[in-house]
Structure 1
């Protein structure tokens, strides 16, 4: 929280004597070009030196200029920002104060921007506090500085103060306030704040302003409020490529990839005067990757190449993600190898690509190679490599990497990193060690950490720790039905049916519904979606008949339907029917019927692949001689000849 300072400029980190000594040193330095000093007016020469990047020489002349102008100070401030020089910036600021320019509203906006660029936000706030006649530009400057520095809550306090005292806001004010919502911490309260700003935007007549409405759309998208984002997008009378890209991104990043691709199709085929840019294509590729739509992704890749959009690093990383998630890991590796420049995002993408395929040690070696190449790992780098260790059962390697974060790379572990560590230990059936990690955390565990423990308890049927984790999750996420379902699954595995009934009643009493299983499959460049126990597909009878036939053949080979997964008091035959209605099985049956013999079948699932579907898919891959790729929420499963690439560890 910000504390208001007195309207005095706070003590600089360098003394006045040091400033004078530095100025003296500058004066004694040799200058390549002889400067003719005119004691009456050096302003034009100072301005010229600033424009050419000769800040030190400009400062030397400033010390002997008795009447610096507003334009001179403006160019000096901009030059200090460009050269990222705080001592010079503070020297210019002191000189302005000495000459009575420190309260000039125009120059105040430049000073605030400068201190923001130099990451000295407290100095920016001091400049703001000292200005008695604040124009809208001064208010906007401090809003922008606070927002860009990550002080969203403080920026929103400024915005609220402006509205309270009647400062007339313009389009920039509303835009910075909206962006402040995004960089703030409390999602729930600030989602509401975003709606309040939305109301003010409408009251002030900015609903036709494309930039403001696009920013508003982006705010709703980041908070996962797809309904509001769609409402804003549909209501925009004019839409530019940024608006379309923002809405496509909203769908792609909020688990609606199908809708993202439909909107892109509409943009390309119905809006003749708009050309998708690289940002658009990154989001489209993310949607293709989410659906494992390889053939459609290839078409998008060709489109990108034809329009010469493939030179940006984010787009290249998105292409790597597409091919990796569609099972074409070798293509992702080739794209990475051909990159002229590789940033940390590119390396992270490659690490996570190998991780989701279960190649944990390969991912670790790539991580080590990245460090050897001089690339500093980011927080996401550790999420990627820890996740890779988790999928491969490399618990001790993961623990070592976790310790190295703070010890060798200066990165404090976040809740997400702890969630990775808990998942890593939990999957390896080191559940009590994982629980100990949570007890010793220096930060609040949060739902991700407890969720990792509960998920591991489900895998290994640990009732005691599952109850401990779920009790925390019910407090933190009272409306998340998935937590109740996981606990019920643990009780069912343990044969505690009274407890299963109790959890189901609790779920119903709170009006919560479990997330329905949903799967997607691409056949002949078209995406088909299946819901669990889906009866709407025109081929559903044919699909059921095929699955029943395969199930009977598998039973003769030792397959036993895992009816314990059905949490209802039903006869075994009815439970088997429900199991055959799982969305991934329906998608698989559809793929077997509608694809060519020998062709790889690719399916995407929105939840974890259940044990029965995993077992049945292994059998089907052997019976049909087909390669089947299923990507669930955790990793990629490749089934060949009755064996899964995960080694039954997922």
Structure 2
């Protein structure tokens, strides 16, 4: 009873006073602690159960698995505890129990351990819709959207006695959004309508996100307008949708309308609206909204909020002010905060603060190669080639590898993937010839390839070849060859769009009369008639 009323302290006191505890009593306290987010405490009791020889049942193991991933910070030590529980589950013969194995799969997914999750899924003799949904979610949330879509199609077309539910559809829509796969997303929308799932709020919000990530902001707004009821998640989705497209003031107006209708903003509401202000360069507006969190809404800023504030100040070239925010933070700045500062230093070429931010990031995220690469890029643009070499040596000494650029494009409902300097596509010679033609035409109009972005000691011609082999350029070339004249080309990239690709895509949009949409890790770029919607500010 106390646990249902969120009185965990009282529940624990009652538990401690029970002299003879049955398995039902142990399971009750484990469930209460896990649901309340006290994962470490729950795991301590689970360990105590095993120490005193209390037999565990399927519920005990399920709560213990969930306890590993309910804490705010998911650490390596918690993963190790999860693996220990996995071992006990196998020793006690629960490997054929669908619910336990699905919970275990979900645990590994939340740790980002896709290979373990996939191994468990493949080894399950029986799978239900929850199992399939959990594996689809694992792929979708761990940057494997193509695998998520493929698994969904396998579920629908090969498993006749299973029907995707609302949770399945939310996860598969997330995969469509990640790939900017508009045609696939439309198919999912049709399925949702046929199954009468469109009245379920999480599904509707996922639909809004999918359409906005595919560049169809007007459809996102239409879905929102047609909703019979809306929760704060619906409003947050609309705010962030306008934000990533660069419509900062529109996002702020939606936020203000939400407040006027009596909807209490959540912490995510402020992440969404601050992000929108950042993309649109609305630094002063963003600062006022940040201050209003505590003053008007009683929300204490988290690391994510500070990261947004640092980002919006940094992008507006108020980098010293951003650095001062970090110095005066009431909580410890994490990788997101320092990463925002480093990203701003890349935009504005501030070497001094970049070195300061990267020093912190190397301590906090020693295995994140992206931080080393970003610092090397900053040095390269400043012409500091000795420092570029030093950072590259440091990267190699750590045994780290740069994350390679990868882009996706959907053509006639099929997803095509391109890696940088990709030679596997059967049309690669046609693509290279087309891009080389564009490059020569651009040079005649004053274009100079940004070869300083290539951090290798190579001849200029070889550097130009590498630039032309960037994954987003290959995807654009493929799209031009394989789509109808006048059709919008939609591309997703796993990294920030580089300056050279941005310049060339602007030219291609003017030269071909095509609209090209590219979504990178920061925002959505709409290229039309030689102009990008970001205003060259990303």
Regarding TM over 0.5, the answer is yes
Q: Mark the runs of 5 or more structure 2 residues left unpaired by the alignment.
A: none
Structure 1 counterpart of 2:97: 209
Matches within 5 A, 1:168-317: 168-184=55-71, 185-317=73-205
Return the match for 1:363 from 251, 254, 260.
Answer: 251
Report the alpha carbon displacement of residue 329 of structure 1 after superposing the two structures with TM: 0.3
Query: Which has the higher Rg, Structure 1 or Structure 2?
Result: 1
CA distance in 1, matches of 2:116, 2:197: 31
CA distance in 2, matches of 1:494, 1:423: 21
The SS at the match of 2:446 is coil
Structure 1 counterpart of 2:224: 336
The SS at the match of 1:603 is strand
CA distance in 2, matches of 1:559, 1:264: 45
TM-score scaled by length of structure 2: 0.99
The SS at the match of 2:273 is helix
Structure 1 counterpart of 2:351: 463
Report the alpha carbon displacement of residue 550 of structure 1 after superposing the two structures with TM: 0.8
CA distance in 1, matches of 2:291, 2:25: 45
Report the alpha carbon displacement of residue 252 of structure 1 after superposing the two structures with TM: 0.4
On the 8 A contact 2:30/2:60 being kept in 1, the answer is: yes
Stretches of 4+ aligned residues off by more than 4 angstroms: none
For the pair 1:146 / 2:70, whether they are aligned, the reply is: no
Structure 2 counterpart of 1:584: 472
Structure 1 counterpart of 2:23: 136
Structure 2 counterpart of 1:473: 361
Q: How many residues align?
A: 537
The SS at the match of 2:418 is strand
On the 8 A contact 2:419/2:470 being kept in 1, the answer is: yes
Structure 2 counterpart of 1:601: 489
On the 8 A contact 2:15/2:29 being kept in 1, the answer is: yes
1:20-42 Cα distance to aligned partner (Å, 9 max, x none): xxxxxxxxxxxxxxxxxxxxxxx
Structure 1 counterpart of 2:236: 348
Report the alpha carbon displacement of residue 481 of structure 1 after superposing the two structures with TM: 0.2
CA distance in 2, matches of 1:198, 1:443: 35
Return the match for 1:616 from 499, 504, 525.
Answer: 504
On the 8 A contact 2:180/2:210 being kept in 1, the answer is: yes
Structure 2 counterpart of 1:548: 436
The SS at the match of 1:115 is coil
The SS at the match of 2:407 is strand
Return the match for 1:491 from 340, 362, 379.
Answer: 379
Structure 2 counterpart of 1:167: 54
Structure 2 counterpart of 1:46: none
Report the alpha carbon displacement of residue 186 of structure 1 after superposing the two structures with TM: 3.9
1:162-190 Cα distance to aligned partner (Å, 9 max, x none): 11111100000011111111112342211
CA distance in 2, matches of 1:197, 1:605: 38
CA distance in 1, matches of 2:321, 2:154: 52
Structure 2 counterpart of 1:70: none
On the 8 A contact 2:420/2:470 being kept in 1, the answer is: yes
Report the alpha carbon displacement of residue 193 of structure 1 after superposing the two structures with TM: 1.2
Matches within 5 A, 1:12-51: none
CA distance in 2, matches of 1:183, 1:208: 25
CA distance in 2, matches of 1:186, 1:311: 33
The SS at the match of 1:183 is coil
Report the alpha carbon displacement of residue 462 of structure 1 after superposing the two structures with TM: 0.8
1:198-251 Cα distance to aligned partner (Å, 9 max, x none): 111111111110000100111111111111111111111110000000000000
On the 8 A contact 2:74/2:111 being kept in 1, the answer is: no
1:491-543 Cα distance to aligned partner (Å, 9 max, x none): 10111100000100111111100110000000111100000000111110110
CA distance in 2, matches of 1:199, 1:461: 51
Report the alpha carbon displacement of residue 371 of structure 1 after superposing the two structures with TM: 0.8
The SS at the match of 2:2 is helix
CA distance in 1, matches of 2:459, 2:246: 38
Matches within 5 A, 1:500-519: 500-519=388-407
Structure 1 counterpart of 2:337: 449
CA distance in 2, matches of 1:473, 1:159: 36
RMSD: 0.7
CA distance in 2, matches of 1:429, 1:122: 49
Return the match for 1:327 from 206, 215, 238.
Answer: 215
CA distance in 1, matches of 2:175, 2:306: 28
1:129-175 Cα distance to aligned partner (Å, 9 max, x none): 01001000000000011111111110110001111111100000011
Report the alpha carbon displacement of residue 437 of structure 1 after superposing the two structures with TM: 0.5
Structure 1 counterpart of 2:287: 399
CA distance in 1, matches of 2:36, 2:168: 27
CA distance in 1, matches of 2:445, 2:488: 24
CA distance in 1, matches of 2:515, 2:67: 48
1:245-288 Cα distance to aligned partner (Å, 9 max, x none): 00000000111000000000110111111011111011111100
CA distance in 1, matches of 2:497, 2:386: 26
Q: Mark the runs of 5 or more structure 1 residues left unpaired by the alignment.
A: 1-113
On the 8 A contact 2:408/2:416 being kept in 1, the answer is: yes
CA distance in 1, matches of 2:67, 2:513: 55
1:554-588 Cα distance to aligned partner (Å, 9 max, x none): 11122211111000111111111000000000000
The SS at the match of 1:522 is strand
Higher relative contact order (CA 8 A, sep 6+): 2
TM-score scaled by length of structure 1: 0.82
